[in-house]
Structure 1
């Protein structure tokens, strides 16, 4: 308001009373244009002179507005706070872009797969699980007991030695390199265990001129040995027209001069036992290899092993 104007409803003669500021324009609408200023006086000095003092101390309220800057005197009046009024010639703001930026769409599996999980498998029957547990426990206990007894008793392998071996009724045919003869052998078996007995099942004796080519095989009756017991096995092996290789037939071709090596072997199933405890059946092999037979007589029909008992190898 100009300094010369005054309010008709609220006279300035009431002390401490201040008139409320005029209401501002609504948000987003242009404010009412301010009233045109009164014509300036003849001189600019009188226009910008200080207003006369007002009564009751309201000089600040009725003071003149600040001077205009660059001719924008009406810019400070009639503007809605805090946004300025848009110009009359402005256009409506452009719509926001539909796709302000590019983004990637992540494809996820549909949700209905998570709502229906697979049902858990049915638990095995309780009786079956208990039975399996009992069987496993019994097997472990039996194995542990057998191992403990084996450590306490400590079974030792029996010892075998060849005490005698003779060859008789030798008939060799050089035409087809065949041999017919009789072998008589004696084996001494000793059980070195002081607490265990040994039983031999299905003993099988053989004789050969080469380690892998037996020329005679015979079966022996089963037998048993108590602790610290020794047993002599006597058996005969008959050879009837068996083929003899050229290297093994050299002593026979020379008319029985020199010696001939013979291999005597025994195989059986051995079981160690003490009272009601028994070990499992194991195959035992006795190998008496390279036993020399010396021919005697002019016609080379007999040969024999001469010397002390020969220790045999035992594999159990």
Structure 2
């Protein structure tokens, strides 16, 4: 028996939305592939970070807590031929002889870098660590000697922007190690960076350095 006109109409009505969905999926896959290939070709590199200054005021020790206000001076370098935006998050931390002190920066700082340029920025934050812990005795001894070693860790979002292409974001940990601060007896609780500063290392969420 020949199919009725109603049957043909229902088949046509069913095929049309399927074809539209298949077309949209194909276009989406093509666009994602094109964007991925474009970013692979451009292969943007993580910005470079270097500590140029570090100072601390109101630095104090107790048996279980370390307190202080810190100002970190950074130079951020864009090695890419595309615009790079760097956002320094409110969260940061200091490492003192394997003791990690968490803090929140006073402000969230955004730095826009043109291609192959660098900028200087300062980040202020205060440590009021509420976690009770044993302060290493060596920290007190080094403070009495006048030099304390710090590591600074910052959370950073990097956004790469290249013309018509959608931006690409990365979340990085920026670690600046072996920063020696000198404390003078006449300025109790105040320390400043010894030397000319140091470069920092970066690591993304996937663990790449």
Same fold, judged at TM 0.5 (above): yes
Aligned to 1:226: 114
Of 131, 148, 160, 2:20 maps to 131
Deviations 1:96-155 (A, max 9, x none): xxxxxxxxxxxxxxxxxxxxxxxxxx9892123212311221122112211332233221
Partners of 2:62 and 2:100 lie apart in 1 by 19
| 1:13-92 matches, cutoff 5 A | none
In structure 2, the CA distance between the partners of 1:295 and 1:208, relative to structure 1 (3 Å rule), is same
Of 133, 137, 152, 2:41 maps to 152
| 1:1-316 matches, cutoff 5 A | 125-174=14-63, 177-194=64-81, 196-201=82-87, 203-210=89-96, 213-218=100-105, 219-240=107-128, 243=132, 245-247=134-136, 249-252=137-140, 256-297=144-185, 300-316=188-204
Cα displacement (A) at 1:185: 1.0
Aligned to 2:5: none
1:145 match: secondary structure: helix
Instruction: Decide whether the 8 Å contact of 1:202 with 1:220 is kept in 2.
Output: yes
Gaps of 5+ in 2: 1-9, 205-209
Cα displacement (A) at 1:253: 5.6
Gaps of 5+ in 1: 1-121
The structure in which a higher percent of residues are strand is: 2
Partners of 2:103 and 2:177 lie apart in 1 by 15
Instruction: Decide whether the 8 Å contact of 1:295 with 1:304 is kept in 2.
Output: yes
The structure in which a higher percent of residues are helix is: 2
Cα displacement (A) at 1:299: 7.0
Aligned to 2:3: none
Instruction: Give the aligned CA root-mean-square deviation in angstroms.
Output: 2.8
Greater relative contact order structure (CA < 8 Å, 6+ sep):
2
TM-score by length of structure 1 reads 0.53
In structure 2, the CA distance between the partners of 1:245 and 1:304, relative to structure 1 (3 Å rule), is farther
Cα displacement (A) at 1:233: 1.4
Aligned to 1:20: none
1:256 match: secondary structure: helix
Count of residue correspondences:
191
1:192 match: secondary structure: coil
In structure 2, the CA distance between the partners of 1:265 and 1:201, relative to structure 1 (3 Å rule), is same
Report which stretch shifted further, 253-262 or 156-165: 253-262
Cα displacement (A) at 1:157: 1.2
Instruction: Decide whether the 8 Å contact of 2:86 with 2:112 is kept in 1.
Output: yes
Instruction: Decide whether the 8 Å contact of 1:202 with 1:221 is kept in 2.
Output: yes
Partners of 1:299 and 1:254 lie apart in 2 by 16
Instruction: Decide whether the 8 Å contact of 2:103 with 2:129 is kept in 1.
Output: no
Instruction: Decide whether the 8 Å contact of 1:255 with 1:300 is kept in 2.
Output: no
Cα displacement (A) at 1:315: 2.1
